[in-house]
Amino acid sequence: MKDKTAPSSSNFIKSIIDNDCNAETFKERRWRGKPGTLSEQQNANIDSAKIRTRFPPEPNGYLHIGHAKSICLNFGLAKEYGGVCHLRFDDTNPSTEESEYVDSIRDSVKWLGFDWGSHEYFSSDYFDQLYKFAVSLITAGFAYVDSLNAEEMREYRGTLTDPGKNSPFRTRSTEENLALFQEMRDGKHTDGIHVLRLKIDMASPNINLRDPVAYRIKHAAHHRTGHAWPIYPSYDFTHGISDALENISHSICTLEFEDHRPLYDWLNQQLFELGFLQEPLPQQIEFARLNLSHVVLSKRKLIQLVKEKHVDGWDDPRMPTLVGARRRGYPAQGLHLFTDRIGVSKADSWIDYSILEDCMRETLNESSLRKVAVLNPIKLIIENFEIDHTEICHAPNHPQKKELGSRDVTLSRELWIEREDFSEDPPKGYFRLFVGNTVRLRYGYVVKCTGFETDERGLVKTVFCECFSDSKSGTDGADNYKVKGNIHWVDAHTSIKADVILYDRLFSAEHPGKDGDFINDLNPKSKTIIEVQVESSTAEAKTGDCFQFERHGYFTADPSSTAQNLVFNRTVTLRDRWKK
């Protein structure tokens, strides 16, 4: 039965699951799980979950926004259908995998709001079983040890238009294959000397069925098993078997695995016929991966950005990684909204980055308290205030949520205002401060500009004005003043200096690398650090706290921020600055 609290947007995958549920395809499905890890009582407790999905990342890097789509889809479907979603680490390549990445993946999935409970697994959990399955496939005539080198294997494989040809080692006897595979297991051969291949069809039009590699020799320490194994199974060999062992009902992959599905089905079918697996076997379903403009989601390219120091690490707020998005201030709820809005499709398409930003704006508008910050300050002096004058004004914490109340802000003789809010020679239609003009200080008084002062370079450094004492916001006299300009400010005596990092899109090009090296498309203005003035209440900001700085956008306290040295990252502007 569907969970009524889960997202209800329709997609073709849900139609498939609905049909399977109606046909009771998984009614008799029994959990097989990791040997020795589940008691009979635990088995009984979880048997009722007929729908099982999985999120199977390789722990060789940090998750990115594209993974968020898969995470939300797999965990969301499991929740909607009263099932479970497994977190399984595809750790079959020890050369690139680290425990650091395992920890980061766990943290990112939890940050997105999902919990896999006791269902955390590793492909390495099944190394013993996978090896036994490989031996059985050799014995049954479905696998052989090949001794071609890598270049020869490419030559024998053929092309997309020309069939491959059989390896001269394809006819090795079962006894010789078993002996060689045992020697590989015992570490008696160096990397690349032999591989174990599945014996399928070298003439198949699907190149993935042309005797794919099941095992390769790799003398490398594994992050969990150490040096116990000198051979490691391939992803194609491991993936489907792991799904079957974990009783996955719907193995949801991106479209690049569509051509691998016949191999997925072939391998599980052989192991079923050999008596190792039971029906119903898991079914693989493919959907279109996320293609997002102005970013790269290739793990290889992300690693290059980090290693060549084009960014400040994996959690750089300009990176499309989930740790980067989190540091920038993107809320997990905004990513949920984004994945729901773009939907699930079988057709590849490009999603404009502005859609992601709009989802962040919508989410942050609801959750963010308002503060005032002056990003490019110049001094404003109210000449008809006494030098020691100070008073309290009241500003709402959220204009759409009166229940959140208001905060006190001090107003004195000297204020900071935005440099752009004063003009020596105002253009037509300019309604802010210029000599002789009146504006309202937001939440404060109406003032009239009386003059200004410049520095030795000729730049305006101080603006002078007079205050209308009966015009304070919230008082009876305020309505008597009709002005077109409304500017924001902070008290020069109580405001705090802060560093603001203005993050923008990492790449200027819509499709980085389309016309050459993607590095050439880096946006040189993607990061700018400025010193600003913020209202005093922001001193209490903790890491991850996000505020709307009025007029400017949403800003999040960086992990490096302290009460003595505030640092805010610009999360997103109030409107799309890239709109054409």
Looking up tokens 């690398």 gives 513
Single-letter amino acid code for the residue at 398: H
Among residues 32, 185, 289, 341, which one is catalytic? 289
Distance of CA 207 to the CA centre of its chain: 32
Using DSSP bridges, classify how beta strands 377-382 and 446-454 pair: parallel, antiparallel or unpaired: unpaired
Query: Is position 258 annotated as part of the catalytic site?
Result: no
| Cis peptide, bond prior to residue 426, ω within 30 of zero | no
Q: Rounded to an integer, what distance in angstroms lies between the CA atom of residue 465 and that of residue 451?
A: 7
C-alpha pair distances (Å), 406 with each of 400, 443, 470: 12, 11, 22
Question: Alpha-carbon distance 527 to 554, whole Å?
Answer: 16
- Indicate the pairing of strand 250-254 with strand 283-287: parallel
Residue 505 identity (one-letter amino acid): R
Phi and psi at residue 321, in whole multiples of 5°? Answer: -70, 155
Q: Give catalytic status of residue 299 as yes or no.
A: yes
- Active-site residue 456, yes or no? no
Give the DSSP H/E element, type plus range, for residue 498. Answer: strand 496-503
Rounded CA-CA distance 532/131 in Å is: 62
Q: Are strands 414-418 and 489-491 parallel, antiparallel or unpaired?
A: antiparallel
Task: Give the distance from CA 382 to its chain's centroid.
Answer: 48
For residue 320, how many C-alpha atoms fall within 13 Å in the half-sphere facing its CB?
A: 25
| β-strands 283-287, 390-396 pairing | unpaired
Q: Is 8 left (phi over 0), alpha (psi -120 to 50) or beta?
A: alpha
Q: Kindly name the residue from 58, 183, 466, 550 that is annotated as catalytic.
A: 58
Distance, in Å, from the CA atom of 218 to the CA atom of 95, rounded to the nearest integer, reads 9
Closest CA relative to residue 395, chosen from 283, 491, 500, 274: 491
Torsion sign, CA atoms 266, 267, 270, 272: negative
Sign (positive or negative) of CA dihedral 377, 381, 387, 390: negative
Which amino acids are annotated catalytic?
58, 289, 299
